[in-house]
A and B are shown apart, each in its own frame.
Chain A
Amino acid sequence: MLKSIAAAIRRLSLTIVAIVAVTIVQPVLAADIDGTIQLLTTDGYSDTIEAIGQLSTSGHPRALAIVQALSDGKLQFSDSAKKVYIDTGAGLVDAATGDAVATPPADVSDVRQNNRVRGVVQAALGALSLFNPDPQKRREAAEAVFKSRDENALPAIDASLAKETVPEVATALKIARAAIVLFKSDAAEADRVVAAQAIQVAGTQDAVALLRSLPADAPKTVVNTAQASAKTIENNLALWSTAQNAWYGLSLGSVLLLAAIGLAITFGVMGIINMAHGEMVMLGAYVTFMVQEVIRNHFPSLFDLSLPIAIPLAFIVSGLVGVAIERTVIRWLYGRPLDTLLATWGISLALQQLVRTTFGANNREVGSPSWMSGSFQLGQLSITWGRMWIIVFALVVFAGLILILKKTPLGLQMRAVTQNRSMASAMGIPTPWIDALTFGLGCGIAGIAGVALSQIDNVSPNLGQGYIIDSFMVVVFGGVGNLWGTLVGAMTLGIVNKFLEPVAGAVLGKILVLVAIILFIQKRPRGLFALKGRAVEA
Chain B
Amino acid sequence: MITSFLLGGLDRKTGIAILVLALIGIGVTYSNAFLADASPLHVSTGNMLLFGKYAAYALLAVALDLVWGYCGILSLGHGAFFALGGYAMGMYLMRQIGTRGVYANPILPDFMVFLNWKELPFTWVFFDHFPYAMLMVLLIPGLLAFVFGWFAFRSRVTGVYLSIITQAMTYALLLAFFRNDMGFGGNNGLTDFKDVVGYNIQADSTRRVLFALTVGFLAVGLWLASSIVNSKLGKVLIAIRDAESRTRFIGYRVAEYKTVVFTVSACMAGVAGALYVPQVGIINPSEFSPANSIEAVIWVAVGGRGTLVGAIIGAVAVNWGKTWFTGVLPEFWLFALGALFVAGPLLLPKGIVGTLGGLFSFGNRPSRVVPTSPEPAE
- Determine if B178 is an interface residue (Cβ-Cβ < 8 Å): yes
Inter-chain contact B167/A521, CB cutoff 8 Å: no
Among B176, B298, B374, the residue within 8 A (CB) of A335 is B374
Inter-chain contact B341/A349, CB cutoff 8 Å: yes
Contact partners of B168 in chain A: CB under 8 A: 469, 472-473, 514, 517-518
Inter-chain contact B161/A521, CB cutoff 8 Å: yes
Inter-chain contact B171/A514, CB cutoff 8 Å: yes
Task: Give, as a whole number of angstroms, the nearest-CB distance from A479 to chain B.
Answer: 12
Q: How far apart are the CA atoms of A109 and B172 in the complex, in Å?
A: 62
A515 closest partner in B (C-beta) = B172
A271 closest partner in B (C-beta) = B160
Q: How far apart are the CA atoms of A462 and B157 in the complex, in Å?
A: 30
- Determine if B346 is an interface residue (Cβ-Cβ < 8 Å): yes
Inter-chain contact A349/B338, CB cutoff 8 Å: yes
Number of A-B contacts (CB under 8 A): 121
Task: Give, as a whole number of angstroms, the nearest-CB distance from A502 to chain B.
Answer: 17
Inter-chain contact B338/A511, CB cutoff 8 Å: no
A-B contact pairs, 12 of them (CB 8 A): A329-B342, A342-B297, A345-B294, A349-B337, A352-B334, A356-B331, A472-B167, A515-B172, A518-B169, A522-B151, A522-B155, A525-B156
Inter-chain contact B344/A342, CB cutoff 8 Å: yes
Inter-chain contact B346/A329, CB cutoff 8 Å: yes
Inter-chain contact B290/A469, CB cutoff 8 Å: yes
A residues 482-538 in Cβ contact with B at 8 Å: 507-508, 510-511, 514-515, 517-519, 521-523, 525, 537-538
Q: How far apart are the CA atoms of A476 and B165 in the complex, in Å?
A: 10
Binding site for A on B (CB under 8 A): 74, 148, 151-152, 154-157, 159-161, 163-165, 167-169, 171-172, 175-176, 178-179, 290-291, 294, 297-298, 301, 331-332, 334-335, 337-342, 344-346, 349, 374, 377-378
Main secondary structure of the interface of A (DSSP, over half): helix
Inter-chain contact B334/A342, CB cutoff 8 Å: no
- Other A-B contacts than A338-B159, A350-B335, 13 sampled, CB-CB below 8 A, are A342-B297, A350-B334, A353-B334, A353-B338, A469-B164, A472-B168, A473-B164, A514-B172, A514-B175, A515-B172, A518-B165, A519-B151, A523-B155
Task: Give, as a whole number of angstroms, the nearest-CB distance from B68 to chain A.
Answer: 8
Once A333-B346, A357-B331, A473-B168 are accepted as A-B contacts, the answer to whether A341 and B337 lie under 8 Å apart by CB is no
Contact partners of A346 in chain B: CB under 8 A: 298, 337-342, 344
Q: How far apart are the CA atoms of A191 and B156 in the complex, in Å?
A: 70
Q: Which of B161, B298, B341 has the most CB of A within 10 A?
A: B341
Inter-chain contact A347/B345, CB cutoff 8 Å: no
Contact partners of A348 in chain B: CB under 8 A: 338
Among A349, A507, A537, the residue within 8 A (CB) of B179 is A507
Inter-chain contact B74/A341, CB cutoff 8 Å: yes
Once A514-B172, A515-B172, A522-B151 are accepted as A-B contacts, the answer to whether A342 and B338 lie under 8 Å apart by CB is no
Q: How far apart are the CA atoms of A518 and B172 in the complex, in Å?
A: 10
Among B154, B157, B179, B377, the residue within 8 A (CB) of A538 is B377
A residues 125-147 in Cβ contact with B at 8 Å: none
Task: Give, as a whole number of angstroms, the nearest-CB distance from B289 to chain A.
Answer: 9
- Determine if A273 is an interface residue (Cβ-Cβ < 8 Å): yes
Task: Give, as a whole number of angstroms, the nearest-CB distance from B338 to chain A.
Answer: 3
Q: Which of A342, A357, A517 has the most CB of B within 10 A?
A: A342
Inter-chain contact A521/B346, CB cutoff 8 Å: no
Q: Mark A350-392, 1 if CB is under 8 A from B, else 0.
A: 1111101100000000000000000000000000000000000
Q: How far apart are the CA atoms of A57 and B294 in the complex, in Å?
A: 78
- Determine if A332 is an interface residue (Cβ-Cβ < 8 Å): yes
Give 7 closest A-B pairs by Cβ, nearest first: A346-B341, A350-B338, A339-B345, A353-B334, A349-B338, A522-B155, A346-B338
Task: Give, as a whole number of angstroms, the nearest-CB distance from A421 to chain B.
Answer: 13
Contact partners of B74 in chain A: CB under 8 A: 338, 341
Inter-chain contact A349/B334, CB cutoff 8 Å: yes
Q: How far apart are the CA atoms of A85 and B91 in the complex, in Å?
A: 64
Task: Give, as a whole number of angstroms, the nearest-CB distance from A511 to chain B.
Answer: 5
Contact partners of B161 in chain A: CB under 8 A: 476, 521, 525
- Determine if A337 is an interface residue (Cβ-Cβ < 8 Å): yes
Contact partners of B294 in chain A: CB under 8 A: 342, 345
- Determine if A343 is an interface residue (Cβ-Cβ < 8 Å): yes
Inter-chain contact A350/B165, CB cutoff 8 Å: no
Q: How far apart are the CA atoms of A473 and B298 in the complex, in Å?
A: 23
Q: How far apart are the CA atoms of A514 and B161 in the complex, in Å?
A: 14
Inter-chain contact A339/B349, CB cutoff 8 Å: yes
B152 closest partner in A (C-beta) = A522
- Determine if A336 is an interface residue (Cβ-Cβ < 8 Å): yes
Inter-chain contact A343/B346, CB cutoff 8 Å: yes
A325 closest partner in B (C-beta) = B342
Among A507, A518, A523, the residue within 8 A (CB) of B178 is A507
Among A332, A349, A476, A507, the residue within 8 A (CB) of B175 is A507
Contact partners of A340 in chain B: CB under 8 A: 345
Task: Give, as a whole number of angstroms, the nearest-CB distance from A70 to chain B.
Answer: 42
Once A507-B179, A514-B171 are accepted as A-B contacts, the answer to whether A345 and B341 lie under 8 Å apart by CB is yes
Inter-chain contact B301/A337, CB cutoff 8 Å: no
A residues 290-337 in Cβ contact with B at 8 Å: 329, 332-333, 335-337
Q: How far apart are the CA atoms of A300 and B377 in the complex, in Å?
A: 60
Inter-chain contact B159/A337, CB cutoff 8 Å: yes
Task: Give, as a whole number of angstroms, the nearest-CB distance from B340 to chain A.
Answer: 7
Contact partners of B345 in chain A: CB under 8 A: 333, 336, 339-340, 342-343
Q: Mark A401-418, 1 if CB is under 8 A from B, else 0.
A: 000000000000000000
Q: How far apart are the CA atoms of A525 and B172 in the complex, in Å?
A: 19
Contact partners of A518 in chain B: CB under 8 A: 148, 165, 168-169, 172
Task: Give, as a whole number of angstroms, the nearest-CB distance from A476 to chain B.
Answer: 6
Inter-chain contact A511/B172, CB cutoff 8 Å: yes
Q: How far apart are the CA atoms of A517 and B167 in the complex, in Å?
A: 12
Contact partners of A352 in chain B: CB under 8 A: 334
Contact partners of B349 in chain A: CB under 8 A: 339
Inter-chain contact B155/A343, CB cutoff 8 Å: no
Inter-chain contact B163/A338, CB cutoff 8 Å: yes
Q: How far apart are the CA atoms of A525 and B167 in the complex, in Å?
A: 16
Q: How far apart are the CA atoms of A522 and B151 in the complex, in Å?
A: 6
Task: Give, as a whole number of angstroms, the nearest-CB distance from A265 to chain B.
Answer: 16
B305 closest partner in A (C-beta) = A338
Task: Give, as a whole number of angstroms, the nearest-CB distance from B90 to chain A.
Answer: 21
Contact partners of B178 in chain A: CB under 8 A: 507
Once A345-B294, A346-B341 are accepted as A-B contacts, the answer to whether A511 and B167 lie under 8 Å apart by CB is no
